[in-house]
Structure 1
Amino acid sequence: MGNCFSCFKVPLPPSTDTNQSIALEHKDETMELRGLFPNSCQQSGPFVPETYVNGNKKSISTLSTFNNVGSDNCGPVPSVQNNLRLPRGFYARLQPLGRSGTSSGLNLTTEPKQQKEPSENKLNALFDQYKDPHEDAILADGIERLCDDLQLSPDEFKVLVLAWKLKAKQMCQFTRQEFIKGLKLMKVDSIRGIQVRLPEIVQELTVNNELFKDLYRFTFQFGLDQTSGQRILPADMAIDLWKLVFTIREPPILIRWLNFLKCHHIRAIPKDTWHMFLNFVESIGDDLGAYDDAEAWPSLFDDFVEYENDQMNQNVTKDDIMKNSSIDKD
């Protein structure tokens, strides 16, 4: 007769002899249909097995076998829902959604990951690894060793970013207070932590104008020799620092500006000129044609624009001469 349980319509438990005979008639009709269609168990709608089979009450575990039909059968029987009665108190034992519990295995709440506070003991120990034997500061040799451990070059942009985050007042020097306070604000207390955090800060600088402006202004002060009371940057130092700070967000005219400074042997860059240069490149964009000499720009910018315009006119003149000479030859 086969094992296809879904092909049987199981009658309700008999209450009288009449009901029993009716059930037998239903069973005979079902068997006749199977004889007509021996290779098919399809029917117009699924038969849902009752909790009574042939007059015997079946437990839930017995009914679960209907869903475990073998590969040679017609497939799983739809799950029993309406006729299953769960034990009293079953839902009371379930954990509410959103709460963690071993009984349900569900935890739909996501706790925010709190960043661990840096350890001051670790920070002091880290500082002591690089500090100078005679001064309570990390000097040139210590900074070079620190950069080696960070796998960075001392003249790399990320080192400038680190000095900016530490608010270092002097190039090639980190005091204990600058080092510990700065790393606390960065939420790190190890070499690995610094390595992970620096690229994140660089990414913030690429999209945040105010942050980059703060770094740009810091760079001028960082380049001064504080011990001698220096107030303006030597031109060669300013050129190197412009190249460094514009590792990201480089303005289109930067190379022409630096070449102008070299060609005209500019000796020093005042603080106002340094600060205004960022506004200058943001105002004129890619084309010097947007420059307005009526505005209160430093005179060095006027000289630069005039020089660039002369260079452009000379190039146009040379092109015209070459073009005219070729026409004459023809």
Structure 2
Amino acid sequence: MGNCLTCFKEPPPTALDNNTSHCRKEEMPEGRLYSAPCHIAASTSIETSILSNGNHITALPEQPVTTPISRFYPYQRRVQPKSAPAMGTTDSKPSDLKLNTLFETYKDENEDAILAEGIEQLCKDLQVSPDEFKVLVFAWKLNAEQMCRFTRSEFVKGLKSMRADSIKSIQTRLPELVNEVGNDSELFKDLYRFTFKFGLDSATGQRILPSDMAIVLWRLVFTVREPPILQRWLNFLEKHPLIRGIPRDTWNMFLNFSEAVGNDLSSYDDTEAWPSLFDDFVEYENDHTNQNISKDKECEEFLIKHNE
């Protein structure tokens, strides 16, 4: 997990402007969706829809969905892995010596950090896939600043907080932590907010999460406590790739939004201070629902007439 965003997805076509963000609706009432990115081919057929509120949403034709999360880590030349030291199970106070010895097993040869290859080997020893929810929880407990990178300080302090000092004890603690996050709304909220920061490229000072990365992370973090509206929200983002970035405010407030509306968008109050992207999503969903109702009615009338 780290600086290399290819660990989680395909490289973004263009860097986002660090100063760009979705304004709230009172600050930016019109033209809220981003302009076409340069990676969209000129020959691509683009369809523009006008929402009932007058906003324009541009959608590309549906294409087969890939699974960027399966490319969580890039393939790298493998070196002969060191053997993880056999230590005890969960100690109440893991020693610095044990934790540093474990860190040395996976650290990079040229840098005092565990990088992508070391994390892959760590995941292999833990018998987990690098794109599993457990690995996100592990990074959260380490309070890791970047994907594909665990510093010595993060690793030692994080395992101390987990009360673990060995592969076996980490394997014991991870399922317990997953259960705790799934059953405690405050813990989940903390993990959810961490996930946004974790997805940013901190080396370049990135402040807005690319939409494709945000979609991957939303799917991952909602492995537990998935809101009913999630799939419709992600479909909206995938259908409109010109929405190129998700700022922190929009990410954080989606959790409140999903709790407020449940699966019933009729309860959405557009007079409240929601990010403007939520307004566009609700309008898009309402227009889509109305179109389906009209088509169903036309089909019903046709069948009645045909059977007379």
TM-score where L is the length of structure 2: 0.69
Q: Which of the residues 133, 146, 163 maps onto 1:187?
A: 163
Residue 256 of structure 1 corresponds to which residue in structure 2?
A: 232
Q: Once the 2 structures are TM-superposed, how far is the Cα of residue 117 of structure 1 from its aligned partner?
A: 1.5
Q: Which amino acid aligns with 2:260?
A: S
Q: Which amino acid aligns with 1:282?
A: E
Residue 59 of structure 2 corresponds to which residue in structure 1?
A: none
Q: Which amino acid aligns with 2:244?
A: R
- Matched residues in 2 for 1:116 and 1:145: separation? 26
- Is 1:274 aligned to 2:246, yes or no? no
SS in 2 for 1:261: helix
Q: CA RMSD in A?
A: 1.0
> In percent, how many aligned pairs have the same letter?
68
SS in 2 for 1:165: helix
Q: Residues 284-303 of structure 1: matches in 2 within 5 Å? A: 284-303=261-280
Residue 174 of structure 1 corresponds to which residue in structure 2?
A: 150
Q: Residues 105-151 of structure 1: CA distance to partner in whole angstroms, max 9, x if unpaired?
A: xxxxxxxxx95321211111100000000000000000000000001
- Is 1:119 aligned to 2:95, yes or no? yes
Q: Residues 145-203 of structure 1: CA distance to partner in whole angstroms, max 9, x if unpaired?
A: 00000011111100000000000001110000000011001111000000000110111
Q: Once the 2 structures are TM-superposed, how far is the Cα of residue 297 of structure 1 from its aligned partner?
A: 0.5
Q: Residues 244-276 of structure 1: CA distance to partner in whole angstroms, max 9, x if unpaired?
A: 000011111111111101111110101100000
SS in 2 for 1:132: coil
Q: Which has the higher contact order (CA 8 A, sep 6+)?
A: 2
Residue 127 of structure 2 corresponds to which residue in structure 1?
A: 151
- Matched residues in 2 for 1:269 and 1:217: separation? 13
Q: Which amino acid aligns with 1:183?
A: L
SS in 1 for 2:136: helix
TM-score where L is the length of structure 1: 0.65
- Is 1:200 aligned to 2:176, yes or no? yes
**Higher share in helix:** 1
Q: Once the 2 structures are TM-superposed, how far is the Cα of residue 323 of structure 1 from its aligned partner?
A: 0.6
- Matched residues in 1 for 2:95 and 2:127: separation? 23
- Matched residues in 2 for 1:206 and 1:227: separation? 31
- Matched residues in 2 for 1:176 and 1:128: separation? 9
- Matched residues in 1 for 2:112 and 2:93: separation? 24
SS in 2 for 1:163: helix
Residue 294 of structure 2 corresponds to which residue in structure 1?
A: 317
Residue 10 of structure 1 corresponds to which residue in structure 2?
A: none
- Matched residues in 1 for 2:254 and 2:105: separation? 39
- Matched residues in 2 for 1:138 and 1:116: separation? 25
Q: Residues 52-63 of structure 1: matches in 2 within 5 Å? A: none
Q: Which amino acid aligns with 1:326?
A: L
Q: Once the 2 structures are TM-superposed, how far is the Cα of residue 229 of structure 1 from its aligned partner?
A: 0.7
Q: Once the 2 structures are TM-superposed, how far is the Cα of residue 206 of structure 1 from its aligned partner?
A: 1.1
Residue 217 of structure 1 corresponds to which residue in structure 2?
A: 193
- Matched residues in 2 for 1:217 and 1:229: separation? 18
**Structure 2 portions without partners, runs of 5+:** 1-89
- Is 1:162 aligned to 2:143, yes or no? no
Residue 303 of structure 2 corresponds to which residue in structure 1?
A: 326
- Matched residues in 1 for 2:91 and 2:214: separation? 38
4+ aligned runs moved over 3 Å, structure 1: none
- Matched residues in 2 for 1:293 and 1:272: separation? 17
Q: Residues 72-102 of structure 1: CA distance to partner in whole angstroms, max 9, x if unpaired?
A: xxxxxxxxxxxxxxxxxxxxxxxxxxxxxxx
- Is 1:246 aligned to 2:222, yes or no? yes
Q: Which amino acid aligns with 2:197?
A: Q
- Matched residues in 2 for 1:320 and 1:221: separation? 47
SS in 2 for 1:257: helix
Q: Residues 27-46 of structure 1: matches in 2 within 5 Å? A: none
Q: Which amino acid aligns with 2:195?
A: T
Number of positions where the alignment pairs a residue of Structure 1 with one of Structure 2: 217
Residue 87 of structure 1 corresponds to which residue in structure 2?
A: none
Counterpart contact for 2:91–2:164, Cα < 8 Å: no
Q: Residues 273-293 of structure 1: CA distance to partner in whole angstroms, max 9, x if unpaired?
A: 000000000000121111111
- Matched residues in 2 for 1:272 and 1:116: separation? 38
Larger Rg: 1
